[in-house]
Amino acid sequence: MSRVKWVALSLAILVVLLLLIAPGALAHVDPVATGDAHLQGPSGSHLFGTDLLGRDVFSRTVYGARPVLIASFLGVLLATAAGVAIGVLGGVAPRRLNAVVMRMVDVFLALPVLLIALILIATAGSGVRSIVLAIGIAFTPGFARVVESSVRRLRTAEYVEAARVFGSTTLRTSWRHLLPNLLTEVVVLGSSAIGWGVLTATTLSFLGLGVRLPAPDWGSDLAAGATNLADAWWLSTFPGLAIMATILLANFSGDHLMRVLDPRAGIRLGRSFRTLATHLSRHGGDTAYESA
Amino acid sequence: MARFVLRRLGSAIPVVFGITLIAFVLVHVVPGDPAKVILYGANASPEQIATLREQLGLDDPLWRQYVDFADNLLHGNLGTSFLTQNSVAHELLSRAPSTLILTAASMLVAVLVGVPLGLVAGMRPGSVLDTVARWISFAGVAVPYFFLALLLVLLFSVKLHLLSAIDDGTAKSLILPAVSLGWGYAAILTRLVRGRVIDELRSDYVKSARARGSGELRVLLRHVLRNSSVPAVTTIGLQFGNILTGAAITEVIFGRAGLGSFLATSITSKNIPVVQGAVVVIGIAYVVINLGVDLVVGAIDPRTRQEAAA
Amino acid sequence: MSLLEVTGLRTEIDTPQGRIRPVDGVSFSVDAGETLGVVGESGSGKTMTGMSIMRLLPPGGSIAAGSIRLDGHELTSLDEPAMRRLRGSELAMIFQDPMTSLNPVRTIGSQLREAYRIHVDGSRAAATARATEVLGLVGMPRPRERLDDYPHQLSGGMRQRVMIALGLMCEPKLLIADEPTTALDVSIQAQILTLIDDLKAQLSMGVLLITHDMGVIAEYADRVAVMYGGQVVEQSGVRELFEAPRHRYTEALLAAMPTLELDRNAELATIPGSPPKLTDLVPGCRFAPRCAFAQDDCRRTDPALTGGGHLHACFHPADDSGSTMAVKASRTFAKEPRGADALVQLFDVHKRFKVRSKRPFAAKRAVQAVSGVTLTIAAGETLGIVGESGCGKTTLGRMLVGLERPTNGSVSFDGRDLSAQTRTGFRKRRRDLQMMFQDSAAALDPRMTVAALIAEPLVAQGVGTRRERRRAVRELLAAVGLPLEAAERYPHEFSGGQRQRIAMARALALRPKVIVADEPVSALDVSVQAQILNLMRSLQERYGQTYVVISHDLSLLKYLADRIGVMYLGRLVELGAGEDVYNAPRHPYTAGLIEAIPAPESAKNRAAATRSTGLGGELPSAIDPPSGCHFRTRCPLATERCAAEIPVLQPSEGLHAVACHHPLTTQVLTPAR
């Protein structure tokens, strides 16, 4: 990947982190503070304009990132963990057990993501926590399916067999060979799922199932601005653009993360990531040679 | 071929069973007493509530309740709505057509836009056409459909007065909702088909076909199209459930009557039988559609029909 | 005027790494009714030459210079539609892998009809009739029924026949065959090549036979062009080439092949280094970096083809003066006399694999991969196991190293049954039984460095301290001829031959007593093969291990192995000293196999019309094999007894062991060799 793209990507990720941790650094106006300037278009003092109650849209957009990002990150994390657990179980299980586990996964796969989410929120109440749970449960079967087939494929890889031949125990083989290779695939899968997570989270909050007003949130702000769309396009458009940008970023990163983690890529930065990844999975590593 | 069909049916049955189980479990997940919900606002006495509970069989052991539930299902009885006391099946079915039409229209948009775009992009990778197609698909994946819906309404309805955003029963009013929903899926299909076409064009059998004098068009139509369409077909099938719920939400945005608003109110008002019924119906519809998809794939690609070969 | 005349052909391809010239100034001609063999290793440009003639170049490719004349008509000046009209009608090409070269979702018939109707404006019935006719021509049994089959329903040999039929649908003038038999079993290979040869005569076609196999060239080509680094370096009649090669590369190539006449103990002549990469070509003769006779003029200027009837592009060609590149005379392997102690014993070993029928209530079916193999392997010997696909040799190898457990019978090492061991006992035993896998790229975890890979066996078995392991890795790298810097690199950065060395080092790490090598050199170029084979021999000399070499290449085993075992459909049908099995085979299958192997020797004494086709027929199904002797369906000597009674592997008449009711005492299957 070219230098320019690398720099752009890093900057974008930095912005995302800021939005998550310290939105105050980017926006200096209180997002819930009402004012006198109602429904004003974008101007010098209000970069993205103001809404019905005079609140600064730019600030709301900046602060509105948090619930969305938290919900999607945590939700995908949850789904990844559960999906990996189930997928690994299914992948190493004998045929009968595998069939049972995967059928159960299929059942959940049959239910659309949003339906599961809606039902869950109806029972557990709205809010970020519910959205996290909803995404976690809804995305798990997809993850489980992919992980299961990966595990089954990796288990029969020739280098795994080679390890058996010189007497490596199952535990050791799993740790040294299966897990690192599985990790790469899972990381790539997870990062591309974040895009979907953002979409789902914002859809749910659009429907009013996320944080309650007046707290800022992209989805709910977008919904609130829908009625005034013709006169005050900025109310919905900026949150919408923010959502789009985030999803694009997530997909982009997912695509390129793969190349970084794959030893066949060989970019310099990739090397250090690689050693990091192998160290993380090696846990007290056992190298015959110290890395130069 | 018959064996193939039977096999697929066989593996579908446990899934359907599981769906009914989940639908059933819903009742017991939702906090609150269903009987109280029904009699809400009627200031019912504890005895009245208890009687209703007994009527609804809510005090029976769980397995008993499930058996009743399953038995009902097999007879096509999806229960009774708490709110209106009408049959759930009736309530769902009366509102379903509109949503299903929107779903079908969106799937059509997705296929009619996504597949040709993917084909064209795959045939000429790196060209201007390809770049345009890829950016369209990039945008499609990133735009949330509710946002797109609003933008389309703003553009075509409010500013340009070309299309109506309100449902007036005509096909024309389907355009905006179908496009806003179908666009995202078109983007997915474009990516998929493009990748597949590129792979197929590089394959040995295409090389052989060219060696026999096949021109590009012939190669594409007779050889590549079939093989590349398989992932498109399966993907759309897998996404049916999501498209359906998307349609429900899109309906709400466009103010169309249908399952969407009905389901939303049912969920918020804790109208359990309706939600149960919806889960069962959607789940089974998904299984049926995927069965259909599998059969179509089996018809296209004879290798999947094969049993363990000698 | 020749049918095909190529002059000064130059093809360029724009790649991300720059512009490369896979074909750089190639000239040759092919007459009708003649086969020109184009032989070369990877990167020689032979495939690209064929593709250039057909103008089937990859994106970014173009013909930069030169002329291609078919029947006097210049092809390079034709536009694409005109070229398309020629493809499949006057020019036909068949490729290496028939499985991937046929559209899997269309029937054979539909593809054959298409090949016809593109060029001939006929009805569907006419196309069907022609298709049936051509299928019959290529020897397909029951051609009319085959039309409705799908490619995956046919065997490899039959699929290749279909490919040939596709090429012949419109009676081409020239047939280009690019490695047509490399993906096929040896016995099928001979059938297909003979078929092409017969068709060539019948239809007066010209045939351009592209291959890496010198034996195939010797047996089936009339004239030959040797390619190296994108250029033709030698061109002559086949006989002259093999008897007196001129270019040093050809000479070295011929010397690197294990031939019948080669002394078993002699080292193979090798060519150092590997074939050049097209992205970094040197000025001057392209072979100079690897040539023992290269001098300054070779490195400065690119030699042109000279020499009249026997063209060669070399400033210092080989002549009869006897100074050759052959290093072989100087070194022989000193082999320890083979001890009589049995190290590994296989007793009546069987292996069944269940075939998973997707139907829930179907009768259980199984494949008998190995049936009743009894074998003793002595310490220090090299045992070769040969057979075609499905014969069970790989499964046998896997059972030896414990990757599979026999369903019946026992595998014993050092007197102890492997299956009877405890978990920890078995793990310890594994130190002595190691394996070199067939696909070295797949057998090495791409995420691990070479050092980690080589040390892994030691780590897994808990042998040695860190420092000792580091030292062991250094020693092993040196022993297999890899530089120390290789230790920190990743497997994908190495060539095929180097990866095999890494695999070898890894297999040696635990100083095992037995190493099972599964197709150790089949994926390598000929010039590299010799290096690896020599390495295997020298390591055996040094460390004294026992080898079990599994291969489909009988001539390789004849060179490498002390004893050879022949397997067919899971059974061991012949077992004896390598020379005995090769020179005086007793089982009809072995005899047929030997005959099917195209060998360079035959170039020297070819009687044109009396080549017999060796083994006819196809390999029977492994799930439902023929009763009694499995080979009886293809055996010219089969009798009723063969169907009723399974022959037992045993020595008889004072000769080596064979499992046959009517063993050969002379080679009755080969009239003229």
Domain boundaries, chain A: 63-291
The type of residue at B237 is G
8-state DSSP, C309: T
What residues in A contact C439, CB-CB < 8 Å? 158
8 A C-beta contact, residue C386 and residue C564: yes
> What percentage of residues in chain C have a pLDDT greater than 70?
92
Q: What is the 3-state secondary structure (H, E, C) of C463-475?
A: CCCHHHHHHHHHH
Both tokens of A61, joined, read 């957009």
Q: Which of A64, A16, A80 is nearest to A221 (CA)?
A: A64
Strand-pair partners of C29 = C5
Q: In what order do the strands lie in the sheet with C73-74?
A: C18-30, C4-15, C61-70, C73-74
8-state DSSP, C87: B
Q: How many residues does chain C have?
A: 673
pLDDT in tens, B164-202: 666 666 777 788 888 889 998 898 888 888 888 888 888
B287–chain C nearest CA distance, Å: 20
Q: What is the 3-state secondary structure (H, E, C) of chain A?
A: CCHHHHHHHHHHHHHHHHHHHCHHHCCCCCCCCCCCCCCCCCCCCCCCCECCCCCEHHHHHHHCHHHHHHHHHHHHHHHHHHHHHHHHHHHHCCHHHHHHHHHHHHHHHHCCHHHHHHHHHHHHCCCHHHHHHHHHHHHHHHHHHHHHHHHHHHHCCHHHHHHHHCCCCHHHHHHHHHHHHHHHHHHHHHHHHHHHHHHHHHHHHHCCCCCCCCCCCHHHHHHHHHCCCCCCCHHHHHHHHHHHHHHHHHHHHHHHHHHHHCCCCCCHHHHHHHHHHHHHHHCCCCCCCCCC
8-state DSSP, C658: E
Q: Which of C529, C535, C563 is nearest to C549 (CA)?
A: C563
Q: What is the value of ipTM here, to two decimals? A: 0.78
Give the other-Cβ count within 10 Å of A111's Cβ: 24
Lowest-pLDDT range of A226-235, B243-252, C185-194:
A226-235
8 A C-beta contact, residue B250 and residue B110: no
> What's the rounded Cα separation, in Å, for the pair B263 and B260?
5
In this prediction, residue C669 carries a pLDDT of: 47
C87 in reach of chain B (CB within 8 A): yes
8 A C-beta contact, residue C540 and residue C279: no
8 A C-beta contact, residue C568 and residue C630: yes
What residues in A contact C433, CB-CB < 8 Å? 165
**In degrees rounded to 5, what are phi and psi of residue C126?**
-65, -40
SS3 at position B28: helix
pTM confidence score = 0.80
What residues in C contact B205, CB-CB < 8 Å? 100-104
Q: How many residues does chain A have?
A: 292
Q: Which chains have at least 3 CB atom pairs separated by less than 8 Å from chain B?
A: A, C
Q: Which of C151, C140, C142 is nearest to C106 (CA)?
A: C151
8-state DSSP, C113: H
> What's the rounded Cα separation, in Å, for the pair B127 and B125?
6
Is the per-residue pLDDT at C609 higher than 50?
A: no
Q: In what order do the strands lie in the sheet with C571-577?
A: C433-436, C514-518, C546-551, C382-386, C563-568, C571-577, C655-658, C650-652
**In degrees rounded to 5, what are phi and psi of residue C549?**
-105, 120
pLDDT in single tens digits along all 292 residues of chain A: 577 877 887 888 888 888 888 777 777 777 777 777 677 777 777 777 777 777 788 888 888 888 889 999 999 999 999 999 998 888 888 888 888 888 888 888 877 777 777 777 767 777 788 889 888 988 898 888 888 888 888 888 888 888 888 888 888 888 888 888 888 788 878 887 888 899 889 988 888 777 777 788 888 888 888 777 777 777 888 888 889 988 888 888 877 776 666 655 433 333 444 444 444 433 333 332 222 2
* pLDDT band, very low/low/confident/very high, at C363 (cuts 50, 70, 90): low
From the list A162, A264, A288, which residue is nearest C437 (CB)?
A162
> What's the rounded Cα separation, in Å, for the pair A231 and A240?
17
8 A C-beta contact, residue B254 and residue B98: no
pLDDT in tens, A141-158: 888 888 888 888 888 888
Strand-pair partners of C175 = C92, C207
> What's the rounded Cα separation, in Å, for the pair C146 and C165?
12
Mean residue pLDDT across chain C: 85
C484 in reach of chain A (CB within 8 A): no
Task: Give long-range contacts, CB 8 A cutoff, 24+ apart: B9-15.
Answer: B9/B291, B10/C360, B11/A103, B12/B287, B12/B290, B12/B291, B14/A103, B14/A107, B15/A103, B15/A106, B15/A107, B15/A110, B15/B287
In this prediction, residue C453 carries a pLDDT of: 92
- CB atoms B7 and C358 under 8 Å: yes
Best interface-test mutation with B: which of A96, A105, A106, A113 has the largest number of B CBs within 10 A?
A106
Residue of A nearest to B157 (CA): A230
> What's the rounded Cα separation, in Å, for the pair A193 and C576?
61
8-state DSSP, B155: I
**β-pair type (C382-386, C563-568):** parallel
In this prediction, residue C7 carries a pLDDT of: 92
C402 in reach of chain A (CB within 8 A): yes
Is the per-residue pLDDT at C596 higher than 60?
A: yes
Q: Which of C421, C324, C382 is nearest to C562 (CA)?
A: C382
> What's the rounded Cα separation, in Å, for the pair B272 and A122?
11
Residue entry with tokens 């105050």: A24
The type of residue at B13 is I
Q: What is the 3-state secondary structure (H, E, C) of C497-535?
A: HHHHHHHHHHHHCCCCCEEEEECCCCCCCHHHHHHHHHH
SS3 at position C91: strand
Residues 6+ apart with CB under 8 A from B244: A112, B99, B100, B103, B282, B285
Kind and range of the H or E run holding C416: strand C416-417
> What's the rounded Cα separation, in Å, for the pair C244 and C260?
18
- CB atoms C460 and A287 under 8 Å: no
8 A C-beta contact, residue C562 and residue C250: no
Both tokens of C498, joined, read 């180097």
Lowest-pLDDT range of A35-49, B9-23, C150-164, C385-399:
A35-49
Per-residue CA distances from B91 to B81, B251, B259, C397 (Å): 8, 17, 9, 67
Q: Which of A150, A38, A178, A16 is nearest to A83 (CA)?
A: A150
8 A C-beta contact, residue C76 and residue C63: yes
Give the other-Cβ count within 10 Å of C460's Cβ: 24
Per-residue CA distances from C135 to B205, C130, C187, C598 (Å): 19, 9, 20, 26
- CB atoms A243 and B278 under 8 Å: no
C103 in reach of chain B (CB within 8 A): yes
- CB atoms A229 and B153 under 8 Å: yes
> What's the rounded Cα separation, in Å, for the pair C636 and C113?
37
B267 in reach of chain A (CB within 8 A): yes
Is the per-residue pLDDT at C503 higher than 80?
A: yes
Pinpoint the alpha helices (H) of C544-654. Answer: 554-560, 578-583, 588-596, 640-644
Is the per-residue pLDDT at C666 higher than 80?
A: no
Q: Per CATH, which fold does A63-291 belong to?
A: MetI-like fold (1.10.3720)
- CB atoms A167 and C447 under 8 Å: no
Per-residue CA distances from C425 to C417, C422, C513 (Å): 11, 5, 16
Is the per-residue pLDDT at C34 higher than 90?
A: yes
From the list A111, A202, A236, which residue is nearest B241 (CB)?
A111
Best interface-test mutation with C: which of B1, B3, B205 has the largest number of C CBs within 10 A?
B205
The type of residue at C605 is N
Residue of C nearest to B203 (CA): C100
**In degrees rounded to 5, what are phi and psi of residue C609?**
-95, -5
In this prediction, residue C27 carries a pLDDT of: 92
The type of residue at A240 is G
B224–chain C nearest CA distance, Å: 9
8 A C-beta contact, residue C536 and residue C548: no
CA C355 from centre of chain: 29
**β-pair type (C408-413, C342-355):** antiparallel
In this prediction, residue A283 carries a pLDDT of: 32
8 A C-beta contact, residue B178 and residue B109: yes
> What's the rounded Cα separation, in Å, for the pair C640 and C645?
9
pLDDT in tens, C506-539: 999 999 999 999 999 888 888 788 888 889 988 9
Kind and range of the H or E run holding C349: strand C342-355
From the list A115, A207, A222, which residue is nearest B279 (CB)?
A115
